[in-house]
Amino acid sequence: MVGCVELRHLSGFVAVAEELHFGRAADRLHIAQSPLSQQIRLLERDLGVRLFDRTTRSVQLTAAGRALLKPARRLLAEASAARRTVQAAHLGEVGRVTLGFAGASSYSALPVLTRAVTSEHPGIELVLEGQTYAGEALGRIAEGSLDLGFVALPVRRGIGARVVRMERLQLALPDSHPLADRAEVAFAELAREPFVTFPLSRGSAVREAMMQACHEAGFAPRIAQEAPDSYTMLALVGAGVGLAVVVESARNIQLGHVVFRPLAGDDVPVLPIALGWRSGNQSAALAAVLRVADRVLPTPADFHG
């Protein structure tokens, strides 16, 4: 069928078949009725069948017309998909972009970005790599094994970055803990408490901020256990293994026996969470993802960098 008919003739046929009226179909296609009628005649001639029974008062599909409608729709849809793919390839908006993420901040932002990219750029494959913390993500972006990642500021030379969230630190603790009844908790009150935190080796910005805040409060935190991700960390908190300093987005993780309390003081760390990429990366697919991110993950108004 593809070799003997034109796609515009199939498009005209589908419009008439759905409208059952040549005038409405012509209006839908933004052409005059006479060229549309000619397209249908040419299609009928090429196929050697009559597709419509036409009278002065009605238009009806013949048996041959009904048989053609479904494959015609499929061919037009495939042609449209092929056109989009070719145009995307021409613009460089096809390919593979690797995106590293870890922690509650990225859990909140990631679905927004991935859904938008999938919808707007079906030719781009987003490869998501979990448990890639800020420090590790920066190293992998710099060496070229990762295209994009959620990182903390400041970034090293040669890395581009844009802040997408501002995260204030807070405390996660078991609901049975004596401090759970408090409206807020100061770092100095945690000197004797066991902590659950992210692994030292992974370069977690949250862990670094927690360690610094504890140091400024006059003590070194006692690490009871390390956890590979936010869900495991909060599960350990709920089990009574220790307390955890987490970002505000962690509240979106619903686990039993865990409560969240603000940390007291005007100097509680607020972490800017950024998307980072290698400045010299010339990938058009990455550029397309960054354009989507600019729109769906705008820089917060309270960031002053």
| Helix, coil or strand: residue 11 | helix
- Residue-wise pLDDT for 13-54, tens only, equals 999 999 999 999 999 999 999 999 999 999 999 999 999 999
User: Do the first three CATH levels of 7-90 and 164-270 match, i.e. the same topology?
Assistant: no
Q: Which amino acid is located at 280 in the chain?
A: G
Residue type at 259 in one-letter notation: V
Instruction: Please give the CATH superfamily to which domain 95-159+279-296 belongs.
Output: Periplasmic binding protein-like II (3.40.190.10)
pLDDT of residue 3: 46
DSSP lists the bridge partners of residue 226 as 197
CATH 3.40.190.10 fits 164-270, yes or no: yes
Confirm if 124 and 285 have CB atoms less than 8 A apart. yes
Give the per-residue pLDDT at 203. Answer: 86
In angstroms, rounded to a whole number, what is the distance separating the alpha carbons of residues 149 and 106?
9
Beta carbons within 10 angstroms of residue 143's beta carbon: 9
Whether 117 contacts 144, CB under 8 Å: no
pLDDT for 84 equals: 73
- Could you tell me if 235 and 255 are in contact, meaning their C-beta atoms sit under 8 angstroms apart? yes
Residue-wise pLDDT for 79-122, tens only, equals 887 777 777 666 666 889 999 998 888 888 999 999 999 888 88
Per-residue confidence at 2, pLDDT binned at 50, 70, 90?
A: very low
CA distances for 113 relative to 29, 57, 101, 203, 286, angstroms: 35, 52, 12, 23, 13
The CATH number of domain 7-90 is 1.10.10.10: yes
Residues 123-140, mean pLDDT to the nearest whole number: 92
Q: Residue ranges per domain, the chain?
A: 7-90, 95-159+279-296, 164-270
Q: Which pTM does this prediction carry?
A: 0.68
